[in-house]
Structure 1
């Protein structure tokens, strides 16, 4: 996933530079449309990378999940059933599979990673709507609205997935802790 996003950034930057060169050289309206489309896409890809890097540099997947924001809300289980999260959750790509692998991480570490991923994706969803502010300047409301709303919806899916998984990880963590406590209390033979 990382490689795809970084390669996309390079290709989008090159394409944007070429489209702008053609537009400023010829004044062709089609080149401006291509430049706007590539610029919007470049913003969405670059912003995702930047938000992820900034949050990760601060928390390193160790965000405490004890705050009220991270607690499961009463309506969430019904919402997840309505959205059928269990059916589509396996189709979403993972940025770094090792961050979410129970064979390599403890449930507590995974809980921190899910909290961080939720914050990243929620922030990205909000920032995905920012290009809508460019409609008065550039026009093209369809392009700005469709890309912004679609991008926000995709990132909300990732945030929902983190919230969906966290209660399960909390239960697993509690079970493992209880097992360790019982094992520590057994009399030695």
Structure 2
């Protein structure tokens, strides 16, 4: 089963772009297969989508035997406003995040808070991300494998990460909405909480 090519086709179809229109970078970690990060241009935004995190299902690291077929599979997509220019280090950060299940046994899911404790890219004011549902359709795989889900990645500040820990992910999303904050803006500050 060629999971990576199925996922690549689905994400490119979702954004209506050809493979030749997309830039990519590869990130490798010792003991893991390469992770590819696609940079997909849009009218008003740039989308960074991972490929490779869904090769294997995520599972509980405490399980004695990991199921090689069944279990949730996920990839990540980060959307930033197009006028912001390239963000040096984004590919590495997304590679680290999508490799978290293999390295640390974390299951990626909506509302998960992942804190790297360092800037997500060069000169970023964000040190953590909040995962959410994305509008990319699940990619069906042959039975009995679970489908691949794309999760949205929203960069957040240390203050916003603390807010999520205390109040929950939806409370932060509500605060962004009330303040009219565009979370795709890489130059935005923290919402006043």
Which one has the bigger strand percentage?
A: 2
Higher relative contact order (CA 8 A, sep 6+): 1
TM-score range, shorter chain: under 0.3
* TM-score, length of structure 2 as denominator length: 0.26
- Bigger Rg over Cα: 1
